[in-house]
Structure 1
Amino acid sequence: MSRPQSQAEYLARFVPPSVAGLNRRSLLAGAAGTGALLGTGLLAGCGGSESDSGAGSKTVSLGSNASDPTPKDVLAKVTAGFQSSSGIQVAINTVDHNTFQENINNYLQGKPDDVFTWFAGYRMRFFAAKGLAGDVSDVWGKLSGFSDAFKKASTGDDGKQYFVPASYYPWAVFYRKSVWQQHGYQVPKNLDELNTLGAQMKKDGLNPIAFADKDGWPAMGTFDILNLRINGYQFHVDLMAGKEAWTSDKVKKVFDTWAGLLPLHQPDALGRTWQEAAQSLQQKKSGMYLLGLFVAQQFNDNEQDDIDFFTFPEIDSTIGAKALDAPIDGYMMARKPKSEANAKKLLEYIGGVDAANTILKNDPGTLVANTGADTSGYTALKKKAAELVGSATEIAQFLDRDTRPDFASTVIIPALQQFIKNPKDISGLLTSIENQKKSIFTS
């Protein structure tokens, strides 16, 4: 998985289509929660005819959102490896990434491909709960090299697995080693130490925490990590699913804690892109930056060894600091694939070491989910990132993947930006979020 180069690319590849513009929100409104038709054309599944479903079938179809050159090429090589080892031909139905996401509901209710690309977490669980995805628990029985956290992120509400992970990228607090060595900074172990460190950075003339939210999505990462640290993984997941109230004392504590940290954040965040905030870290004007691993792309090649990170520190000792955001991309199976046996063979291959090694060889910017892959080519930063995710007890998928797309884009983005602009009326803000949540989640 290559990293986003611009706001447009991020929107196209990591953020739900509803975030990209109001014109898409009308398409998605209600779709994720009710299973309603999107009102646009179906993605054209290219599964075989009914006769293909027999035991002697040698074909399987794959619906792919990997429309950008690098991931498209990588998938072609992975499926070529599967074809060579199994003798089963893979018909890839590649669709523009945005179009794929916008039409996923209709696609799965129509005649989808046997296997399709998708995301772990809420997005996976929703379609599994609606009966629009196939149970692949028996495939998981043949897989190895995945942590319990990856399996949990692949598991539906009924305890069965519906997803096979392929790649991911973690969120953490990044910094420059040379700056920290110069000032003698130490990695904070809890919130008090983080505040003390931030105060010292201010005295030293640095922005303690680089920050940007012009594009709407980066602040979601801050909310996520604070909620995970204060209230734990299960509460966070339930809140994202509309099962917990935003007006609860637990959520209020998240925003109260965030308000206390805002003075340490780079000011005027709403007018700054994530790239510009990353450049302030690169230029040694900021001391830390909470973002995804793709932040490294803003550093020159000769600066890569100067980048390091730590997971956001503990806030509640009874909850700890083992949960994190690490969005996972992977594959699911249609509810009634034309060639179920071949679909499961393909998923088993995709989840295996050979496929992971093919991904690594052809896309050096990717972290693969299978720990059995040959990661000798990883940089020190990527090795540490892989170790961080491997040690995580729970993996969240990032706010806009862990909840309904329309709720994330039309409610959460403006609400978080309003909070950043004016953090004083937290109760009013949370009441507004809760009222809108009830309307959206019951529609």
Structure 2
Amino acid sequence: MTPFTTDRRNFLAGVGAVGAGALLSGCVTQTSSNSPTSQSSSGPVTLQSNLSSPQAKTALETLIAAYNKKGGSRAQLNTVASETFRTQLPTYLTSANPPDAYTWYPGSVAEAYAKQGLLLDLSDLWQGPDLSRYSAAMRDLCTSPSTGKKDFVPTDYYWWGFFYRKSNFAKWGVQEPTTWNEFLALCQTLKTKNVAPIGIGAGSGTAWVASAWFDYLNIRVNGATYHRELLAGKHSFNDPQVHKVFDYWGQALPFFDPNGTALAFQDATTSLLEGRTAMMLIGTFFADAAPKDALGDLDFFRFPVIDPKVPMAEEAPADGFFASSRTAHAAGVKDLLAYFATAEAQELYIKNSSGTVLPTHPDAKDNGTPLVVKGRKLIASAAQVTQFFNRDSSDALQPTADTALVHFLSKPKEVNSILTTWQRDAQQIWSK
């Protein structure tokens, strides 16, 4: 699928409301089982959700309960640990009795499943009173290039940045950097204060977090267009341009938390909140696991400028839902997803979560905090918007990045062989 490319005005015109990432179903039922729930045509719609962090899970449960109170179709929520969900999603979709609907991502990652005929056609929903008002950019993002059908309902989007605690920066007497050299100087200052400057959390099943560093360095050094083309197989991971990305990353490596490849991102988040690390490149979803009393102390700055001649792109992934083409509850699934597309549902989700997502519905209101206002302005100022490594490529390509990037973090001097191997592994995916 053509990666999501748009200018900031088209993006903001049509991004507005997904907020819930994964709304499930009816009698809010929780299960720890990793296997899909058997379906019958008379049962409730099952929603398989990866929203397992406390606030996001509670917000989705609230949303499903509200949907079930409306009468008519009912939904049942199955919450699965995020990393388990990611690895099991292909199995869910290809099983004989798959869950009906899923929290996941639009764009290239959804296209990989659409090409296999695994996703339910939702085109008729996009003619409805809510989705018909979403932007052209959002409609394009949710349309399969191979089938021409719309197979996704977006509900929210969010941003990535270097997050930190304002009270800690004030205590350490440091300020937000804007350029790469200022960023490295900040890291050096923090290191002298006996704090690990940069947390990452690329261990214990969350190696994908490291892809944010690759994404941002690549779009800062080579630009968003080159980045998308690289992930589509039009360039090699062994190109000189990619080597340059790792040259810059190597400059920052001395400032990473030495435990960063042993911790899951949730544990790295705890280190950030407790002041053991100073800052972390992460998406706003991390705040769903943060104590409510810490949210007002959080702030962020954009990934620093490296080359002023390269337009400033930002990562702003959209979240939402797609459904199995094998569902026995097509009408119920569409009714549930139509509800998720409303301003009412998106505002309810935001109210009951950490509130750090931006709704996709043009009429839905965000929570209006200074952090959210700043995040919205960041995306509005972006020259281009990217999603995330697997979203701009495929779920199948993500493990190649996980292997390569974690290897680099532990053995940066082996970068030449790492990139050669990465290209070989990626080519095997692209050639399928």
TM score, norm. by length of structure 2: 0.73
Q: How many residue pairs get matched?
A: 393
Q: Quick check: 1:190 aligned with 2:179?
A: yes
How far, CA to CA, are the matches of 1:103 and 1:282 in structure 2? Answer: 31
- Counterpart of 1:65? 49
* Structure 1 counterpart SS, 2:164: strand
The answer as to whether partners of 2:312 and 2:384 remain within 8 angstroms in 1 is no
- Counterpart of 1:51? none
Q: Quick check: 1:128 aligned with 2:114?
A: yes
Larger deviation, residues 412-421 vs 68-77: 68-77
Candidates 271, 291, 303, aligned match of 1:312: 303
- Counterpart of 2:154? 165
Q: CA deviation at 1:357?
A: 2.3
Candidates 282, 300, 312, aligned match of 1:291: 282
How far, CA to CA, are the matches of 2:382 and 2:155 in structure 1? Answer: 17
Letter in 1 for 2:177: P
Taking structure 1 as reference, are residues 249 and 72 closer, same or farther at Cα in structure 2, changes over 3 Å only?
same
Taking structure 1 as reference, are residues 109 and 280 closer, same or farther at Cα in structure 2, changes over 3 Å only?
closer
- Counterpart of 1:350? 340
- Counterpart of 2:388? 398
Q: CA deviation at 1:303?
A: 4.3
- Counterpart of 2:349? 359
Letter in 1 for 2:301: F
Q: Quick check: 1:380 aligned with 2:370?
A: yes
Letter in 1 for 2:320: G
- Counterpart of 2:202? 213
* Structure 1 counterpart SS, 2:177: coil
Q: CA deviation at 1:400?
A: 4.6
Candidates 144, 152, 168, aligned match of 1:156: 144
* Structure 1 counterpart SS, 2:150: coil
- Written as runs of structure 1 = structure 2, the 5 A alignment for 1:225-244 is 225-244=216-235
Larger deviation, residues 131-140 vs 214-223: 131-140
Structure 1: runs of 5 or more not aligned = 4-16, 18-40, 49-58
- Counterpart of 1:260? 251
The answer as to whether partners of 1:43 and 1:103 remain within 8 angstroms in 2 is no
Taking structure 1 as reference, are residues 318 and 242 closer, same or farther at Cα in structure 2, changes over 3 Å only?
same
The answer as to whether partners of 1:356 and 1:368 remain within 8 angstroms in 2 is no
* Structure 1 counterpart SS, 2:413: coil
How far, CA to CA, are the matches of 1:205 and 1:113 in structure 2? Answer: 49
How far, CA to CA, are the matches of 2:328 and 2:272 in structure 1? Answer: 51
Letter in 2 for 1:64: Q
Q: CA deviation at 1:374?
A: 3.7
Letter in 1 for 2:38: A
- Written as runs of structure 1 = structure 2, the 5 A alignment for 1:8-47 is 44-47=38-41
Q: Deviations over 1:224-281 (max 9, x none)?
A: 2212322333433443344432112222221122112223333453344545544554
- Counterpart of 2:423? 434
TM score, norm. by length of structure 1: 0.71
- Counterpart of 1:54? none
Q: CA deviation at 1:354?
A: 1.3
Q: CA deviation at 1:424?
A: 2.2
Taking structure 1 as reference, are residues 290 and 76 closer, same or farther at Cα in structure 2, changes over 3 Å only?
closer
Taking structure 1 as reference, are residues 199 and 74 closer, same or farther at Cα in structure 2, changes over 3 Å only?
closer
- Written as runs of structure 1 = structure 2, the 5 A alignment for 1:73-88 is 74-75=59-60, 77-78=62-63, 81=66, 88=72
Q: CA deviation at 1:103?
A: 5.4
Q: CA deviation at 1:309?
A: 0.3
How far, CA to CA, are the matches of 1:439 and 1:295 in structure 2? Answer: 33
Larger deviation, residues 255-264 vs 98-107: 98-107
Letter in 2 for 1:350: F
Letter in 2 for 1:156: S
Aligned-residue CA RMSD (Å): 4.0
How far, CA to CA, are the matches of 1:66 and 1:430 in structure 2? Answer: 31
The answer as to whether partners of 2:344 and 2:364 remain within 8 angstroms in 1 is yes
Taking structure 1 as reference, are residues 295 and 352 closer, same or farther at Cα in structure 2, changes over 3 Å only?
closer
Q: Quick check: 1:89 aligned with 2:83?
A: no
Taking structure 1 as reference, are residues 150 and 181 closer, same or farther at Cα in structure 2, changes over 3 Å only?
farther
Q: Quick check: 1:329 aligned with 2:315?
A: no
The answer as to whether partners of 1:43 and 1:100 remain within 8 angstroms in 2 is no
Q: CA deviation at 1:336?
A: 7.2
Taking structure 1 as reference, are residues 343 and 196 closer, same or farther at Cα in structure 2, changes over 3 Å only?
same
The answer as to whether partners of 1:121 and 1:396 remain within 8 angstroms in 2 is no
* Bigger Cα Rg: 1
Larger deviation, residues 61-70 vs 234-243: 61-70
- Counterpart of 1:423? 412
The answer as to whether partners of 1:67 and 1:94 remain within 8 angstroms in 2 is no
The answer as to whether partners of 1:367 and 1:386 remain within 8 angstroms in 2 is no
